[in-house]
Structure 1
Amino acid sequence: MTRILTLLTAALLATSAHAQSAATVRLGYFPNLTHAPALVGLERGTFQKALGNVKLDARSFVSGTTLMEAFAAGQLDLAYVGPGPAINAATRGMPLQMVAGASEAGAVLVARRDSPIKTYKDLAGKRVAVPSLGNTQDISLRHLLGEQGLKAQTDGGNVNVTPIPPADVPAAFAANRVDAALVPEPWGAALEAQGHRLIGSEKTVWRGGQYPTTLLIVNTKFAQANPTLVTAFLKAHADAVAFINKKPAAAQTAINNQLARLTGQKLDPRVLQRAFTRTRFTTGLDLNALNEYAALNVEAGYARNVPDLKAFLSPSLLKK
C-alpha cells in the first residue's frame, strides 16, 4: 500500500508539471495484436501527424502490470491497456479515464504439444503462463479455473500460474517451463503454428467472446489541461481502428512490421490471419462487460468491491 501511495503522489506531481506545457505526448502499449490500433497508428505515422508539432514518445511494455506502474509514476499520458489493470488502477485512486475501446476477444489457451492437457479440467497440477499476475488474462484464467472447480496455488489450489511475457512463451514451451498458456494474439496462433494445441478459443475464455481486451486510457489531469491534443489523438485512434477493419491485409503488414521491430520476430502472414479471426477491433466501450469484468477482479482477489465505472468512462471525448 505504501508503494501505491508513493506512486500516486509522484503521478500527481509529475502529471501536473507535464500537463501545464505538453511538448510531448507519452504513450504506452504492448507488442500484441490486441493492441493493433497502437501498432498501426505508429507504423503509418497517423498518431504523430495528428499531434502536429507535439512530439509523440511511444513506449512498449510487456504487460499491463508494468505499464500501470509507469502510468502511476506519471510517466505516461495515454495508454493501451487491458480492462483488469485499468479497473484496478482506477479503484486505487489513479487519475485516469477510459476514453475508447481498442479490441475485443483475442485471447486463447494453448497447451504444449507433448503435454496431456486436452480440456480446462486437465490444468489441475499443471503450470500455466499468463502475461503477468493481475493482468487481464490472469484474471480470466482464475475465473476459468473456478468454473472447473480448480484454483491457483496462491489461492490454495494446485495450478501454478506463472507470469511470462507472451512473446517469450514459445521459448518457455521449448524448455518445458510451462505446460500451457493463456495468451493474447498473435502469440496463441504462433504457438499453434509450432504444433502446440488450442485448448480454449477466444469464445470459451469468457462471455462467449464478447469481452473487452484492450482499452485506451488517458491521465485525467493531462486530458483536462490538453483537450485538443487528446481529441486529436482519439481521432487518430479511430482512424487506425477503421483502417484495420477496412483494409485488414494492409493492416496485418503494418502490424507485422511493428512486431518484428519490437520483438525481433516477424510472423508468418498466415499466423496473423488466423489471429485476426479471433480478434475484433472497435472504439466502443461496453459498460456492462466492464462491470462484469470488475466483478471478476473481485473474484480473483485483486479488488475488494466493484466500483462505479461510469465515473471513469469518458466516451464523449471520442465523439468530439
Structure 2
Amino acid sequence: MPVNRSALLRRGAAVVAALPLLALAACGYGSDSKDTGTAKVAAGAKKIDGLDSVKIGYFGNLTHGTALVAVNKGFFQKELGATKASYATFNAGPSEIEALNSKSIDIGWIGPSPSINGYVKSGGKSLKIIGGSASGGVKLVVNPDKIKSLKDVKGKKIATPQLGNTQDVAFLNWIADQGWKVDAQSGKGDVTVVRTDNKITPDAYKAGSIDGAWVPEPTASKLVAEGGKVLLDEASLWPDKKFVITNIIVRQDFLKEHPKAVEAVLKASVEANKWINANPDAAKAAANKQLEADSGKALKPAVLDPAWKSIQFTNDPLAATLNTEAEHAVKAGLLKKPDLNGIYDLTILNKVLKADGEPTVDAAGLGTS
C-alpha cells in the first residue's frame, strides 16, 4: 500500500508532541492494574501481619512475566490470605522508585539500574533487593534500510525507555565500548539517544522519528513486527548469556515491619516461576491475558511468541551482574562509584527456596543471603 506522506508526517508530529506528556506521566505513581478475577480470598483466610493490603508494582513488559502471571493466576492473593493484593503498573524504573519512596507501593518488580540508583541516592536506606525474577529479553532493533551493521548505528537516532533506566544504561555502555561519545544527560553525540516511552516507541519507529531502539520485550518484538531487524541481543554481551533484567525490591521499613507479608509475596513469586517454567505455553497465555487486562490490548502471536522465548525466569537475582551494571552506569556518567554493600537481603527468599526444595541463591558479597 502506498504511504500517505502527509499522514505519516502528522503521525510523526503527534509522536513528538506526545513525548513530553508521557515524560510527565512517568513522574506519577503508576496505573492501577486490573484484577482478572482469578484472585480469590480463601474462606477463613486471615490477614498477614494485620495488613489490609500489600501494594505491588510491576511493568507492562514481558520481562516482568513473573508478576504478570502471579497476578493473573491469583498466586499473590492466595499467599496473602485476607490481606488484599493491590497492584500498580509502571512504564519505567525511576517512576516506580518514586512510588516506592512515597509509599504508594510496598514491593516492586523492577530493573537493576533504578534499583541501584534508588539505593545509592537514599544512602542505602530506601530499599532492599529481595529476589530475582528474569534474565534476558532485551534487544537492539533497527530499521534495516538505514542500519545494516553495528557500525551504522553511529549518527542514528536510537530510542531507550527513559534516562537512567536499565536499557538506557546498557545502551550508553555499549556506545562507549564502540569508542563513540554521547552526553548521557542530553543524549546528544555520535549517536542520538531518544528517551521514549515503550508505549509509543513502535509509533515513533513507524513515523521515522527514530531509526531503532534498545528495548525490552515485548517492545522489541513489536518493532520486528513493524519491519525492524534484531541487530543485537544484549544477552550475547554477558557471560553465560545471563544478566539481571528484573529483580524484586521492597521498602526497608516494610521489610522490617512486615516480614511475613514479604515472605508471602516471595512464596507467590517462587510458585509463579515454577509454574512458568513447567507450563511455558500456558504461562505465556496468562501473561498476555494480564497485559490485556492492564492495557486493554493483548499481544499478537507474531509478537508474543518470539518475545517470550527470549526471557529466562529465575529466582536468582544474578547479583554479580548487578555490580557490573552499576559499573556501566558509572562509566556513562549517570552515577558516582556506588557502595552497594547491603543492597541485597535474600534471607527470606532462601528460606522459601529451602522449604520448597529449590536451590538457594547468593548475594555475591553485596548483602545477606
> CA contact under 8 A between 1:83 and 1:293: conserved in structure 2?
yes
Correspondence 1:84 to 2:113: yes
Correspondence 1:125 to 2:155: yes
> CA contact under 8 A between 2:206 and 2:226: conserved in structure 1?
no
User: Aligned residue for 2:134?
Assistant: 103
Correspondence 1:38 to 2:67: yes
- Looking at structure 2, the residues matched to 270 and 90 of structure 1 have their Cα atoms a distance apart, in angstroms, of 38
User: Aligned residue for 1:141?
Assistant: 171
1:293 aligned residue (316, 325, 329) = 325
Q: Which amino acid aligns with 2:166?
A: T
The alpha carbon displacement at 1:161 in A equals 1.1
- Looking at structure 2, the residues matched to 130 and 312 of structure 1 have their Cα atoms a distance apart, in angstroms, of 26
- Looking at structure 1, the residues matched to 302 and 208 of structure 2 have their Cα atoms a distance apart, in angstroms, of 26
Output aligned runs, 1:42-57, within 5 Å.
42-57=71-86
Q: TM-score, normalised by structure 2?
A: 0.77
Output aligned runs, 1:261-300, within 5 Å.
261-300=293-332
Give 3-state SS (helix, strand or coil) of 1:122's partner.
helix
Give the paired residue count.
300
> CA contact under 8 A between 1:84 and 1:136: conserved in structure 2?
yes
Q: Which has the higher contact order (CA 8 A, sep 6+)?
A: 1
- Looking at structure 2, the residues matched to 288 and 199 of structure 1 have their Cα atoms a distance apart, in angstroms, of 26
User: 1:174 and 1:208, CA in 2 relative to 1: closer, same or farther beyond 3 A?
Assistant: farther
2:195 aligned residue (159, 163, 169) = 163
User: Aligned residue for 1:177?
Assistant: 209
User: 1:146 and 1:258, CA in 2 relative to 1: closer, same or farther beyond 3 A?
Assistant: same
Question: Could you say which structure has the larger radius of gyration?
Answer: 2
Give 3-state SS (helix, strand or coil) of 1:166's partner.
coil
1:218 aligned residue (250, 259, 265) = 250
Give 3-state SS (helix, strand or coil) of 2:164's partner.
coil
Structure 2 alignment gaps of length 5 or more: 1-47, 352-369
Q: Which amino acid aligns with 2:345?
A: S
User: Aligned residue for 1:16?
Assistant: none
Q: Which amino acid aligns with 1:103?
A: A
The alpha carbon displacement at 1:155 in A equals 6.8
User: Aligned residue for 1:249?
Assistant: 281
Correspondence 1:312 to 2:343: yes
Q: Which amino acid aligns with 2:263?
A: T
- Looking at structure 1, the residues matched to 181 and 133 of structure 2 have their Cα atoms a distance apart, in angstroms, of 30
The alpha carbon displacement at 1:121 in A equals 2.2
User: Aligned residue for 1:29?
Assistant: 58
The alpha carbon displacement at 1:125 in A equals 1.7
> CA contact under 8 A between 1:108 and 1:183: conserved in structure 2?
yes
Percent identity reads: 35
| CA deviations over 1:168-191 (Å, ceiling 9, x no partner) | 211111111111101101221222
Name segments (4+ residues, structure 1) moved above 4 Å: 205-208
- Looking at structure 2, the residues matched to 111 and 56 of structure 1 have their Cα atoms a distance apart, in angstroms, of 39
User: 1:292 and 1:254, CA in 2 relative to 1: closer, same or farther beyond 3 A?
Assistant: same
Q: Which amino acid aligns with 2:135?
A: E
- Looking at structure 2, the residues matched to 185 and 209 of structure 1 have their Cα atoms a distance apart, in angstroms, of 16
> CA contact under 8 A between 1:167 and 1:263: conserved in structure 2?
no
User: Aligned residue for 1:191?
Assistant: 223
The alpha carbon displacement at 1:195 in A equals 1.7
